[in-house]
Structure 1
Amino acid sequence: MPQEIEITDDQIRIAEKVLLPKGKIFDDQRVSFIKDLTSHDLHAVPGSGKTTALLAKLIALEQHLPFINRSGILVISHTNAAVDEIKNKLGHICPRLFAYPNFIGTIQGFVDSFLAVPYYKCVYRRRPVRIDDEIYYENHFPDYKLKFLLSKRSDADKILYDYRLRDGNKLMLGLKNTPFVFKSTTDTYKNILKIKTELRENGFLCFDDAYILAQEYLEKYPGIINFLRKRFNFVFVDEMQDMDKHQYDLLEILFGDAQDVAYQRIGDKNQAIFNSESEMEDIWQERNLKELNGSHRLHPANARIVESLALNPIAVVGNKTNVDGTAIKIKPILLVYDDSSIDAVIPCFADIIKELVDAKEINISTDNVHKAVAWTAAKPTDKAHMVKLNHYYNGFSKEHVKLKINYPCLEAYLHYHHGGDDKLASIRKSILNGILRILRLEEVTNPLTKRSFTKKSLVGWIKYEFPSFYQSFKLQLYQIVKLNIEQNKKEALHSIIKLSVDILAKLSKNIVNSKSFISTKHTPTVVTANVIEKANCYVKNGIHIDVATVHAVKGQTHTSTLYLESFYQINVSGKGQYESSRIADQLQGIAVPENAHEYIKQSLKMTYVGFSRATHLLAFGIHKSRFEALYKGKPNIELWRVIVVQSSVKIADN
């Protein structure tokens, strides 16, 4: 333990009042984890409340701040959303936790702040302009012959963006674990290296470049390791299973063998679907393992299915009940479809939910998150027989899933934004991103800093350099947002162009390089009549079912989850190309074999994540041909209820 600190029962009681529903307390497993301030790993089942337990530990530790030795607490998670959750829940009650010397942020933010940016400033005597994959993409490849060459390679993006290995002080280009894609004597290699070097010198870095800089920094100045260990005596990494190998290795170098640091890694190996390495169990070598087995999300019937899918065995105890404490008795369902009824699977799922609502087994006022998910969505190169998410829901569009900084044309920025309470702010951000894209294409930089504008710096520059124009700028932005909400996108687009021209005029520039970007037409995704309020949403009888990939819903909690089997990769070990075939035994409660093929392991992880979202209803879509071949029409009825999907969307129990 870095210093003598004890978390008391009274401090845990305080955390319970802040974090838990009235009358609820932490069980013995969670209390043991909260009190433990030694280095260890925590393996937690889905819905176990591991992040809540971590927050309780942070609340208790905050009461000891500032520490006697002036050290701080480091909390690392994988996404900005997870970091925001911590800040939203603790910011108002633990202000010292968010001040120096503590740091709460993403792994990328930590690497940028403490390693990459300081080292870049040391080498180049200035800060990098931007660390961002999309902005990096805009600035690479002035050599169009090289661009054409790499456009023919399926691994071109990996060559450009993935973590680079190095030979001494010389940057090497290549795929992870395959450093020599091009021989260093070839013109292609030399040209890529030249472009990469120029981009770095000009301050444009992709995300993984930060890890190269971090590695160089630690090699040249290894004393930084001891500095960080003294700065952070307590290190907590949430969602450890989502770390890539180079992120894992970097954290190990910094804190893995530190005697004066409590280094705790928290997560669930069975949910490792984001890291680029296929074998998370080979990356994350566990130490001093603790477990959280009780799930507050899963009821016993669903927990039994989820436990059988665990690639890394762990007991999953379903503790979810109705609000009044009564048991949830909704048996998981196999939805059996054929070629003629595949598009009726989601409507059938909606009918089942409606039946459960009418039977008062689901409370529509409090339990109202319903999702239909699949591992993969269709690609243009897919063959007709490859069943994927789009076959079940023809209106599915990946473009609506994740907002981006860049789109191929200006008009697209009017189509993609968040809904809900932050809709106005999201539209405004998207419009500003479109204007910034025009400025970058016109090679405009901030006259004050000689760097590309950001949204904040652009607004600030206009405010202080052109105060009379600033009021007009704000008004025009507001009018564009209003036009967009009113679905007058043609006029909104015209207004964005006008505003961009006005801004360029202040910089003595005109529309030249961005003409194609501005004039290219955007073709919105065609959606069905069932899409009422938002894209990728099926609506029937007041039941809203969001349609998404499994990756998009990881970490979420749903009332009802429909997992739709989908085509993936080649037939391995005679186990087919769909999850239903590859994990057929596990769906019947049979343990995972130790020698399972890599693709089978991937299928297990994907279904483990997908199946573990639902608090009430879990359903799995399986084709009739595979259902009959696997189970001879006689699945384990103790585990599953079977419903045959009719083309007319009528429910028929088998």
Structure 2
Amino acid sequence: MFEEIDYRVVEKILLGESNFNEQQKSFIELFESKTIVAGPGAGKTTALAAKIILLLQHLKRTGSSDGLCIITYTNVAVKEINDTLLKAGIGLLTHPHFIGTIHEFFNKFCVIPHFKKEYKHNSLFFSDDDLLSKEFYIKFLTRNHHWMQDKTKTAIAQRICGSKLIYNETTKNLELENTTAWEDRLFTNHKAKMLNAKILRRKNGYLEYDDTFLFSQFFLSDTRFLEIIRKRFKYCFIDEFQDTSVSGLALLRKLFDVENNIMQMIGDPFQTIIYDQPMPRVDEGTVFRLNISNRFGKEISDHLNIIMPEANIQAVENKKSFKPIILLYKEDKDIYTSYRSIISEHEEEHDFYKNCEKEDKVLVWSRGWTSLLKEGKAYSNKKRKSFETKNHQIKHLIIEFICEKIKSTDENHSILKKWIHDHPAMIELNGILVEIIKNGVINPHKENLKILINRLLGEKGGGVIIASNHIFKNIKDILTNTNTFDPKIIDYESSDDIFTIHSVKGETLRSVLVVNFNGGPLTKIMFHKYEIKDDADYIYTDHNLLYVAMSRVTHLFVYALHIDNWNDDVRNKLQDNWTIKDIT
């Protein structure tokens, strides 16, 4: 399907002097509905970018009008793919294609059209702030049931907030579900007024984030609209499917998992680490595996396959890592300094490790354990600083400017920022900013930005701006500022290298120390997977956390184990494949 010359160009852009391996090429050339289970370090993001570039070139060459729908988990991923397309000379994705988060997709193609059709407006405000909703429902009850006591109105308003709106596919109506464990008799008595209040707030354009899928379900119940979207997007690629909303994923399946469309879900179900989020069920008959990792050597992959045999991670032959270390300790306070000593020793003895520019991090199951590792230090939510791109600086400037212009309304600042971040116009803003960064604050890009800002201001009654507004000078100042810094020379707070496992998902690190104090499940999981204990009483989320922690590293994995857990049986199971470092 793809020409060899196109392949070579894409490899040059994305890999430099390297080439895609045969497994990656097979994925790039795969065009049937499949679930792509992509292991850590398998080059999933790069291979997907190559697939998109080559497919777009093919569609252009053949004159096809088929559209690509690319669903990403974050806007950061949107930027990464768009930046790659710019490098390849393709430019930003435009009609008939789409790239964005699942909420952006369904809001654009289902929710906004639904509100235009049913309620003759598309001014939508998304928030999960129960306080705002509760105030609305109290006013609704006061207006329609003025005889109620204030205490009763407040109690019912609280129940309205907690009751869930659902779509009944049989009746094709919105209904209310008793999700507050209210006594059935009381719920039945008040259900009609509660439902009316809930629907009225939605009709006015005040939605919760899950309402995206609710109203999309409503909209897609009309098969005409279902077919229009299907015909526009022949190809649908869902990145990080394991993190995608269950409701959203079901709707995407309804849309694209059909005979004439190609739907590919790409991700790693074993990296599902959000508590209460169900582990995706994967049909092995529809699976294509990307399991050859370029991140670490066999020294790590062998242990990953003990922790998570289903992942079946394979390492490339020329990749070298260290045998992982069990750090035996007695005193909590000795763990951190011993880990730093291990890092220093490896740097002195191995240049390839010393020259690796990835970070070293201490990973904890519970953030409260930071003070046990470093006395008097609390867990810091502050991430390590990294260079903020001009794109991010300008976007932040614009968002703050818009908030400032409409702050005279009663809207909360943080809610306003969230409204702007989630607005469908953010996709358009990204495209305008790319052009401004490339070409400067000149027309037509300046004019397009002014129109977009005025559109957002207009939706909240914030007035309009003209082309001489100071915002454009401030953008120019950012573009002409040549100050940069090297993140490696910043003096961080000492506790800033301690992170929860959740916070480093998606990162690649030089080394990791995992700490599991009493109350944490990780040692129990380790002992079960290495056949030291029969006890398998743990949840899959914690199992996945251990897998995620170990799979971050390029070179060195260290696990801190209290001496009380060490005995002959443990020694016999671990000593051949782990380096044992006893600091007791």
Q: Does 1:618 align with 2:569?
A: no
Helix, strand or coil at the partner of 1:552: helix
Structure 1 residues 214 and 467: CA distance shift in structure 2, 3 A: closer
Structure 1 residues 591 and 37: CA distance shift in structure 2, 3 A: farther
What's the TM-score once normalised by structure 1's chain length?
0.68
Q: 2:358 aligns with which of 359, 362, 368?
A: 368
Q: 2:293 aligns with which of 285, 292, 295?
A: 295
Aligned to 2:207: 205
Aligned to 1:441: 410
Residue 578 of structure 1, CA deviation: 1.8
Q: Does 1:603 align with 2:584?
A: no
Determine if contact 2:291/2:311 at 8 Å carries over to the other structure. yes
| Matched letter for residue 71 of structure 1 | D
Determine if contact 1:377/1:389 at 8 Å carries over to the other structure. yes
Aligned to 2:511: 560
**Mapped partners of 1:103, 1:629: distance in 2:** 57
Identity, in percent, stands at 24
Structure 1 residues 269 and 185: CA distance shift in structure 2, 3 A: same
Aligned to 2:110: 115
**Mapped partners of 1:333, 1:75: distance in 2:** 41
**Mapped partners of 2:569, 2:405: distance in 1:** 57
Helix, strand or coil at the partner of 1:64: helix
Determine if contact 1:584/1:630 at 8 Å carries over to the other structure. no
Q: 1:59 aligns with which of 53, 59, 67?
A: 53
Aligned to 1:335: 327
| Matched letter for residue 171 of structure 1 | E
What is the RMSD of the two structures over their aligned residues, measured on CA atoms?
Answer: 4.4
Residue 95 of structure 1, CA deviation: 2.7
Residues 348-359 of structure 1 mapped to structure 2, 5 A cutoff: 348-359=338-349
- Between 11-20 and 271-280, report the one with greater CA deviation: 271-280
| Matched letter for residue 260 of structure 1 | N
* Per-residue Cα deviation, 1:22-52 (whole angstroms, up to 9, x for no partner): 1x21122111111121222221211000121
Residue 211 of structure 1, CA deviation: 0.4
Where structure 1 has 5 or more consecutive residues not aligned to the other structure, the ranges are 1-5, 322-326, 379-387, 403-416, 447-451, 479-530, 539-544, 569-576, 647-654
Aligned to 2:444: none
Determine if contact 2:59/2:66 at 8 Å carries over to the other structure. no
Aligned to 1:171: 175
Determine if contact 1:235/1:263 at 8 Å carries over to the other structure. yes
Residue 297 of structure 1, CA deviation: 0.7
**Mapped partners of 1:343, 1:195: distance in 2:** 56
Structure 1 residues 354 and 443: CA distance shift in structure 2, 3 A: closer
Q: Does 1:27 align with 2:31?
A: no
**Mapped partners of 1:163, 1:398: distance in 2:** 38
**Mapped partners of 1:210, 1:287: distance in 2:** 31
Residue 606 of structure 1, CA deviation: 0.9
Aligned to 1:643: 581
Residue 426 of structure 1, CA deviation: 8.0
Determine if contact 1:116/1:210 at 8 Å carries over to the other structure. yes
Residue 328 of structure 1, CA deviation: 2.5
Structure 1 residues 580 and 197: CA distance shift in structure 2, 3 A: same
**Mapped partners of 1:355, 1:432: distance in 2:** 50
* Per-residue Cα deviation, 1:507-532 (whole angstroms, up to 9, x for no partner): xxxxxxxxxxxxxxxxxxxxxxxx97
Residue 64 of structure 1, CA deviation: 1.7
**Mapped partners of 2:410, 2:501: distance in 1:** 35
Structure 1 residues 334 and 93: CA distance shift in structure 2, 3 A: same
Structure 1 residues 16 and 470: CA distance shift in structure 2, 3 A: closer
Q: 1:86 aligns with which of 81, 90, 96?
A: 81
**Mapped partners of 1:562, 1:623: distance in 2:** 14
Aligned to 2:133: 140
Aligned to 1:551: 502
**Mapped partners of 1:68, 1:264: distance in 2:** 23
Determine if contact 1:357/1:364 at 8 Å carries over to the other structure. yes
Residues 126-525 of structure 1 mapped to structure 2, 5 A cutoff: 126-133=121-128, 136-137=129-130, 139-142=132-135, 143=138, 159=162, 164=166, 166=168, 168=171, 169-173=173-177, 183=184, 185-186=186-187, 193=195, 196-219=198-221, 221-256=222-257, 258-274=258-274, 276-281=276-281, 284-310=282-308, 313-319=310-316, 328-338=320-330, 341-378=331-368, 388-389=369-370, 391-393=372-374, 395-397=377-379, 399-400=381-382, 420-421=388-389, 428=397, 435=404, 439-441=408-410, 456-457=453-454, 465=464, 470-471=469-470
Structure 1 residues 290 and 442: CA distance shift in structure 2, 3 A: closer
Residue 611 of structure 1, CA deviation: 0.9
Determine if contact 1:278/1:602 at 8 Å carries over to the other structure. no
Residue 102 of structure 1, CA deviation: 0.8
Residue 344 of structure 1, CA deviation: 3.5
**Mapped partners of 1:61, 1:472: distance in 2:** 39
Aligned to 1:517: none
Aligned to 2:437: none
Aligned to 2:486: none
